[in-house]
Chains A and B, each alone.
Chain A
């Protein structure tokens, strides 16, 4: 992990309040697994960095793509940055989906809103490994939906919107049927809990979110209770991806 001023080489809106940001720099060379993230210092006026998942990486070219949604001051200020600007990035952070350990005949990917981005690089690498992929992508509405076409390149896609303006109307948990042996989910904790209850018994991996302080494992701001003697995990470095059996979702 290192700190680097990365250069913005592409930056464009891709859905309502949602942007695609491509960064160039050596942090991209260090990315190990899908599901890792970077910690962005939007400007010196902010005290806390913003964690954003790496949605796609090209290690050779030293490029990575982030997909982010406007949620508050930090992401709004990020959206005002231009191609050619540099930003202060810490990364690659965290442990992602353990692709090497995964032996699957059909993988189910489940993403809700801003939980969709890290699954994109995962879908790509599972596809390259020859694992069939079905992606369930949940959004609030059609205007918010992004990357549904891109995911189709790597397998089936089931789109769900809360208001029914695109795909199935309802929740991601409505459309999880199929003969899958492993699932990968990223989204709000309530969604992760619903998914893990519904798919109880299946091998699963969850990518979690929490407000972070340091982002490198030192401050214990980002803990989640765990099912063992140690009693907790740090989302920023032990995660954000965990085996579904490892953590306790409150």
Chain B
């Protein structure tokens, strides 16, 4: 299947920040089996990220505040992308920054080496930048326009769920020239340890991911699908092949799997293998057949597909 800039063998890809730059997962399976790989965020300079602890478990999910730690765009181009390029898999670069200039610099440099960009205007874990670009439609539009202008490859904008009206944001970045959307990033949250009486995560707040956010993500994909004409990469709490189908029915054209890779490093490969059978069992003939299906379904009674 084809999405802007991406020729996908299947609609499954690991989500940004949960797969590093691929090296750590290569011992577990052949990365060429993936639909695509979304790399960890790149910023203009090296960043060391937040203090530790950076993760905390919660019911059906986890909080993280890594803080965009990465070796910087030049080091990623030199040391990380060549490794992924040895595999027969499209590579998407996650572009982050604190200023429009930084986003533009990273996008200009890295876009020549990858198949698409995922513009991260939604990272809740850095004080400077990231999330305010993702919560203000005018700012989101502005940074998207600037990045689209310098990028040599299609730009997918990664939306934050920490907003009142996600449709407004989605429309703003579509207008700005985004080729696609990816959604959702994590929801801001906090956990406090009764023993220490303090937040568990050093950064105090972190981003909630995992099964706990899946219904929120599905709802947002469903709403945005009705409002835009660009494809959506859906994510948030996917752990099983049924979760994938749920996102496709809501309107995603492909999906990304994040924290579930921590539970099971083989999860992407396993879901890819299970997908054809699952599609058949629900009466679909192809992935395309599923996309947005929930918006078209007219059967009034429970369908007898099993």
Spell out A's residues near B (CB within 8 Å). Answer: 1-3, 41, 44-49, 88, 90, 210-225, 231-232, 237, 250
Question: Are A222 and B52 closer than 8 Å at their CB atoms?
Answer: yes
Question: Are B66 and A220 closer than 8 Å at their CB atoms?
Answer: yes
- Give the chain A neighbours of B55 by CB distance below 8 A: 48, 211-213, 219, 221
Taking a contact as CB atoms closer than 8 A, the residue among B19, B48, B53, B266 that contacts A218 in the complex is B19
Subset of 21 A-B contacts with CB under 8 Å:
A2-B28, A3-B28, A41-B263, A47-B58, A48-B62, A210-B53, A211-B53, A213-B54, A214-B262, A214-B265, A216-B25, A218-B25, A219-B20, A219-B55, A220-B54, A221-B52, A223-B52, A223-B54, A231-B46, A231-B48, A232-B69
Whether, in the assembled complex, B253 has its beta carbon less than 8 Å from a beta carbon of chain A, the answer is no
* A90 and B62 in contact, given A1-B27, A217-B20, A218-B19 (Cβ under 8 angstroms): no
How many contacts between A and B, using CB within 8 angstroms?
96
Whether, in the assembled complex, B130 has its beta carbon less than 8 Å from a beta carbon of chain A, the answer is no
Shortest CB-to-CB span from B48 to chain A, Å, is 6
Shortest CB-to-CB span from B210 to chain A, Å, is 5
Q: Which among B23, B24, B25, B46 has the greatest number of chain A C-beta atoms within 10 A?
A: B24
CB closest chain-B residue, reference A214: B262
Q: In the complex, A49 Cα to B259 Cα: how many Å?
A: 12
Taking a contact as CB atoms closer than 8 A, the residue among A210, A221, A231, A237 that contacts B64 in the complex is A221
Chain B window 235-266, contacts with chain A (Cβ cutoff 8 Å), 1 for yes, 0 for no = 00000000000000000000000010111111
Whether, in the assembled complex, B61 has its beta carbon less than 8 Å from a beta carbon of chain A, the answer is yes
Question: Are A237 and B24 closer than 8 Å at their CB atoms?
Answer: yes
Q: In the complex, A212 Cα to B265 Cα: how many Å?
A: 14
Chain B window 1-28, contacts with chain A (Cβ cutoff 8 Å), 1 for yes, 0 for no = 0000000000000000111100111011
Question: Are B66 and A219 closer than 8 Å at their CB atoms?
Answer: yes
Whether, in the assembled complex, B273 has its beta carbon less than 8 Å from a beta carbon of chain A, the answer is no
Q: In the complex, A45 Cα to B55 Cα: how many Å?
A: 17
Interface of A is mostly: loop
Shortest CB-to-CB span from A179 to chain B, Å, is 36
Q: In the complex, A24 Cα to B277 Cα: how many Å?
A: 33
* A210 and B52 in contact, given A47-B263, A49-B263, A219-B20 (Cβ under 8 angstroms): yes
Question: Are A232 and B48 closer than 8 Å at their CB atoms?
Answer: yes
Shortest CB-to-CB span from B98 to chain A, Å, is 19
Question: Are B62 and A213 closer than 8 Å at their CB atoms?
Answer: yes
Q: In the complex, A48 Cα to B25 Cα: how many Å?
A: 17
Question: Are B264 and A3 closer than 8 Å at their CB atoms?
Answer: yes
Q: In the complex, A211 Cα to B64 Cα: how many Å?
A: 11
- Give the chain A neighbours of B53 by CB distance below 8 A: 210-211, 221
Extra 8 A-B pairs, beta carbons < 8 Å, given A47-B61, A221-B64 = A3-B28, A41-B263, A47-B58, A211-B52, A216-B24, A219-B17, A220-B54, A250-B51
Q: In the complex, A1 Cα to B27 Cα: how many Å?
A: 8
In B255-306, which residues have CB < 8 Å from any A CB? 259, 261-266
Shortest CB-to-CB span from B154 to chain A, Å, is 26
Whether, in the assembled complex, B199 has its beta carbon less than 8 Å from a beta carbon of chain A, the answer is no
Q: In the complex, A237 Cα to B265 Cα: how many Å?
A: 15
Q: In the complex, A47 Cα to B186 Cα: how many Å?
A: 15
Question: Are A90 and B61 closer than 8 Å at their CB atoms?
Answer: no
Whether, in the assembled complex, B77 has its beta carbon less than 8 Å from a beta carbon of chain A, the answer is no
Shortest CB-to-CB span from B256 to chain A, Å, is 14
Q: Which among A218, A222, A231 has the greatest number of chain B C-beta atoms within 10 A?
A: A218
Question: Are B263 and A218 closer than 8 Å at their CB atoms?
Answer: no
* A47 and B57 in contact, given A213-B262, A215-B262, A219-B17 (Cβ under 8 angstroms): yes
Q: In the complex, A221 Cα to B62 Cα: how many Å?
A: 12
In B65-110, which residues have CB < 8 Å from any A CB? 66, 69
Q: In the complex, A250 Cα to B58 Cα: how many Å?
A: 26
Whether, in the assembled complex, B56 has its beta carbon less than 8 Å from a beta carbon of chain A, the answer is yes
Chain B window 205-218, contacts with chain A (Cβ cutoff 8 Å), 1 for yes, 0 for no = 00000110000000
Q: In the complex, A215 Cα to B57 Cα: how many Å?
A: 14
Question: Are B262 and A219 closer than 8 Å at their CB atoms?
Answer: yes
CB closest chain-A residue, reference B46: A231
Question: Are B24 and A218 closer than 8 Å at their CB atoms?
Answer: yes
CB closest chain-B residue, reference A1: B27
Q: In the complex, A2 Cα to B262 Cα: how many Å?
A: 13
Q: In the complex, A230 Cα to B69 Cα: how many Å?
A: 12
Question: Are A218 and B28 closer than 8 Å at their CB atoms?
Answer: no
- Give the chain A neighbours of B129 by CB distance below 8 A: none
